[in-house]
Every structure is written in C-alpha cells, then in structure tokens.
Amino acid sequence: MLLWLRARNLALIEDVSVEFEPGLHVFTGETGAGKSLLLDALGLALGARAQARLVGPRGPRATVEAGFHLAEERASAAVTEALDRAGVAVCDGEVLVRRELRLAGAGGTLISRAAVNGSAVPVGTLRAIGSGLAEIFGQSEHLTLLRPGVARDILDAAGGHADLLREVANAHRRWRGAEARVESLGTGAADPTRERVGLERALREIEAAAPEPGEREALTGERRTLASRERLLRLLDSVWSDLYGTDTSASARIGSAMRDLDEAAELDPATAEVLVGRPDLLAEVEDLAESVRDRRDVIEAGPERLAEIEDRLALLRRLERRHTDGAGGPEALLERAEAIRAELARLEARESARSEATAAAGVAEAAYREGARRLGAARRTAAGALETAVLAELPGLGLPKARFRIGLDPRGDASPDPPRARFAASGWDQVEFGFSANPGMPVAPLADVASGGETSRFFLALQAAAAERAARGQGDSRVLVFDEVDAGVSGRVADAVGRRLRRLATDRQLLCVTHLPQVAALGSTHFRVEKLESGAVVRIHRLAGETRLEEIARMLAGPEVTEAARRNARDLLSGASSPSLDPAQEIPSS
C-alpha cells in the first residue's frame, strides 16, 4: 500500500506531500490543472524514464519520495526477489523509494539517481522493485489492448503464471545458449566433413611420399653427378684398375711387398717390429677398390637412376605446389603434415564437442517444449476463467449483449508443437481477444470491431477481473493507478465504472484521476488538484464535507455552481454508499 508521496520542484509542483489510506482515492480538478503531474511523480518513484522537463524552475534539482507498506503475506515474488537481488533490507514491511533528477553543467545534462531504503540502486533495479509495488494505467492505456502481446500479458497476470513464465524464460535462455554453442562450433568450414576428408587425403599423399629433410638437395646433386657419367666411369675404371684390377695394381704390389716383409721378419726379429701397429694396407686398399667398384656400378646404371631421380623430384615439386604453395621443399611438406595432424585433431575435438553440444541443445529444446506446453495448458485454463469473469463485468458497464472469447494458438494438447520460429521467452502461445458488442455480429479481434468507448470499458472490465483473480491467486497487493480510465462514458455507465473501481479497491488500494462526478463521489478519499492563478504552482487539497460537495457540484455544473448542482452532488454522495448497481446488474448500453 502507498502510504505517502512527496514531490519537490517537479515541474509546477513546488513542494507537495500527500498521505494515502486504503481504498479508492480520486483526484479531480480543471483540465490542465496538473493532475497528471502527481502520476508523473509516482511514476518517477517507481522507476519511470526521467525527463529534463520534469525539473522545475526553482533550481536544478527535483526529488520525489514515496513510502510503501509491503505486507509480507501479500508481497509478490517479483518485488521480493528484486529487493533481495539489490541487497535492500526491509524492516516491518516499510519500503522507502527516492528519485532525484539533477541538471548539471551548462548544457543541462540530466542526471538521475535512485535509492531504496537508503541504499543507492540503479534505475533498472528501482523499476523492477516498483513494478511489484504499483501499476500505472495512463490516459488511453486501453489502446495497449491493441498491441501485440498485451492480451497474453493480461492473461498471464490473471492466471498468476509468474513462476511458469520464469521457468519457460530460463528454459528458452538455456536453449538459445545451447543453439548458439552448436552454431559457433559449426563455423570455420562450410562443410566440416568435407574439410576433414580433404585434410586426410592430403596427409595420406605426404605420408606416402615420405619426404626426408635435405632430400631435394641430395637428389639434385646426384642428378648433376650423373650428367658426367661417361667421364666418371672412365676415371673410376682407371682408379679401380690402379688399385686392384691388374697384376701391377697397388694391391698386387702391396701384397708382394707384404710377403717380402713377412719373409724378412722371419730372418730378422727387428724387421718384425717394423710391422707392429702398422695398418693393414692391403685390406684398406682392397676396401677402397671395392667402394670405387660399387660406385662405378651405380653410375653405370645411370639412365635408370636418373629416371628415378627425375620422378622423385617431380613428385616432390607436385606435392609442394599442392600443399605448400610451391616452396619450402621436403621440410615444408613435413611441417605441413604436422599441421594437418594438428588440424585433424582439432576438427575431431570440435566435431566431438559439436556432437555433445547438439545433444545438449536437444535436451534444452525438449525442456523448453515441456515448459511451454505446461504454460499453454495453464493459459487455456486461465482463459476460460477470465472469459467468465469479464463477461460478468460487461453488462454492468453498458455492454449487456457483448461476447468475449480468448483465442489461443495452439489450441490444446492435441495440437502439434509449433516450429522453432515460434519459440520465445514468453512461450509459443499466440493470444488474441475476440469481442462482439452486438448479438448479430460475430466475435472478431478486438482491434477490428470495438469502438473507442467500448475498448475503454472492456479494458476496465479486464483489469477488474484480472486484478481480482490475481489478488485471490497470488496475494497481489500492488497499488493500481488509473488516469482517466473512465474517459468516453457518462450517466449510469459512469456510475457503474465508479462502482467497479470502488469494488476493486475493497481488496487493494486504487488511485484514479477522473473528470466524472459519478466516479469522484464514489471515492473513499478525494483530492482536488488546482493550479494557482499565476499558473506557476500546483496545489493539492484533500476534500471532505462541504469542500467535497462543492467540487462535485463544480464537476456537474461547471464554473458557475448552482443550487441544483449542489443538490445533485449531495444525491451522488449520499447514493455512493448504496449498492444501487450490483456488479451483475445489466444497464443499457450508451
């Protein structure tokens, strides 16, 4: 419940304090007197968007403070959670909110600060807390019924679906996160499978070729050698002959010399000592001759070897062009092979992660679908109850033959789940209000068939029915604030509107700005808002007794109050306490 409200230097409000009580509070006054400024002040205290125009002429600073009493047993979960998240302590149910607007610097930059129970909080936090303390329905608010999603929001408020909505919103957030993870793991290649196949083929080609470091230089040198084959063969033949191939070769002469030394050693022990520690010259010469012969044989097979070298060099060049931009040689191919192995390992890890992410996304999607189905079932149940409650309100608002239907898509449990394109944080249901004011006309979307006056009364019926259901089901204790919700009606319909507002105020606190004397007479507390003759200051007076009688007479007669207007005002006030119009009683449409 709103206990008090104070505004200082807020537009034309110099310094105004208003105290409130339970029940229906009505605010009246001439057009342009500043009644809506009071709602602006309350809106700021609840976290509404700050505007520089609201800072008054009496300094660069405007402040608004409001005190609420939050009954623990009726506090909404939303406001309790918002207070907990902000770390704001609540003692004895008292919630004090403060909003300050300040114009700073030569350019008049607007600075906004907010606090709850003395703790500074962001304006967004104040807005979250304020949404659980009060709800303001501004002028032409009934036109919001024509906006997409509003019908669904009203149905959810009436059905008390806050917990289900949070569950579905959380499931939707997890599903979106899981889908984003799958999508991110799928980026980097138009076709990950095709990329992996291409890498594997490249690796097989390089591994099959088995390049070795320095191989190209070695092959190039060998090819250069083979180009001098004839001369090399002649030279190697000559060397082999000199070493081993003739009777006069080095090996033959060394062999003869060694035999002579052996014979001399038998005759002279000192000669034997000459051979001690000496290398086996004959064996070394024979090994050298063998090596020369082997090399000669290789060179002698030159045409075949040269072809092998050319083929090998061509293969290396082809692999280099394909995998290393034609540069780097066998070393670059080996590096590319290592890089491919690393990339394949990364791809394998990514595909494994994507598989896991896809499975997780499937689980998240199933959880969302389950939550959305349960929310849809709850909405269908609430729709039937809200239809009944609204239809009970309409006759008393001058719409005795009106029909009201709530259309939902999908329509029931037998309907298939909608596609993913319909997934939303608020569920997948599409809700539409159908209306017909006349029995001969079919029920059609409200935006297509309802006049402005019918929409306004239908809005009030919805708010009354939904608020009562929410209060019974959820312990909703928010203050409801209506700014000329009774616009466009008069006579008995105006009286019916006032009585519904007062009936709604038996369970909660209501504030209503009105121009209708019938509504004003039904308020339990009456305030008059007036602008001083200077036009620079707004004042608010609490009315009772004769002052209230005079105000209602003014509303009936205009500036010149007559005795007849006073009698009518007295009749309105005396009749305000009578249950002359039962909520179910039909009155003629106007």
Place 359 in a pLDDT band, splitting at 50, 70 and 90: very high
Residue 581 has pLDDT above 50, yes or no: no
Residue 501 has pLDDT above 60, yes or no: yes
102-113 pLDDT, tens digit each: 998 877 889 999
The stretch 239-259 carries a mean pLDDT of: 85
Q: What angle do CA 465, 471, 474 make, to 5 degrees?
A: 125
Look up residue 39 and give its DSSP letter. H
And the tokens for 287? 């090994």
Which has more confidence, 25 or 140?
25
Residue 47 has pLDDT above 70, yes or no: yes
For residue 45, count other CB atoms closer than 10 A to its CB: 27
Place 251 in a pLDDT band, splitting at 50, 70 and 90: confident
State residue 590's pLDDT score. Answer: 43
422-452 pLDDT, tens digit each: 999 999 999 988 888 877 788 888 777 666 6
383-429 pLDDT, tens digit each: 999 999 888 888 877 788 888 899 998 877 667 888 889 999 999 99
And the tokens for 547? 């002052």
Place 583 in a pLDDT band, splitting at 50, 70 and 90: very low
Residue 210 has pLDDT above 70, yes or no: yes
Most confidently predicted of 13-22, 78-87, 307-316, 342-351: 13-22
Q: How many percent of the chain have pLDDT more than 90?
A: 28
State residue 246's pLDDT score. Answer: 83
Place 589 in a pLDDT band, splitting at 50, 70 and 90: very low
342-352 pLDDT, tens digit each: 988 888 888 88
Q: Cα(206)–Cα(203) distance, rounded to whole angstroms? A: 5
Residue 517 has pLDDT above 60, yes or no: yes
The stretch 463-472 carries a mean pLDDT of: 63
pTM tops 0.85: no
- Residue from 213, 223, 219, 221 nearest 330 by CA: 213
Crossing angle between the packed helical segments 162-186 and 329-393, to the nearest 10 degrees:
160
Place 77 in a pLDDT band, splitting at 50, 70 and 90: low
What number of CA atoms fall less than 13 Å from residue 390's CA on the CB side? 27
Residue 140 has pLDDT above 70, yes or no: no
State residue 302's pLDDT score. Answer: 61
The stretch 26-42 carries a mean pLDDT of: 85
- Residue from 43, 143, 147 nearest 488 by CA: 143
Place 91 in a pLDDT band, splitting at 50, 70 and 90: confident
- Asked if 319 and 207 touch (Cβ cutoff 8 Å), the reply is no
Crossing angle between the packed helical segments 546-557 and 563-575, to the nearest 10 degrees:
110
Average per-residue pLDDT for the chain: 83
The DSSP annotation for 418-439 comes to PPGGG--TT-S-EEEEEEESST
Lowest mean pLDDT among 343-347, 487-491, 579-583: 579-583
146-203 pLDDT, tens digit each: 566 778 888 887 888 888 999 999 999 999 999 998 888 875 555 667 888 888 899 9
Residue 586 has pLDDT above 60, yes or no: no
State residue 169's pLDDT score. Answer: 92
- Asked if 142 and 458 touch (Cβ cutoff 8 Å), the reply is yes
Q: How many percent of the chain have pLDDT more than 70?
A: 87
Residue 132 has pLDDT above 90, yes or no: no
Strands 109-116 vs 24-28: parallel, antiparallel or unpaired: unpaired
Place 467 in a pLDDT band, splitting at 50, 70 and 90: low
For residue 22, count other CB atoms closer than 10 A to its CB: 15
Place 274 in a pLDDT band, splitting at 50, 70 and 90: confident
Residue 353 has pLDDT above 70, yes or no: yes
State residue 489's pLDDT score. Answer: 66
The DSSP annotation for 273-299 comes to HHTTT---HHHHHHHHHHHHHHHHHHH
Residue 372 has pLDDT above 90, yes or no: yes
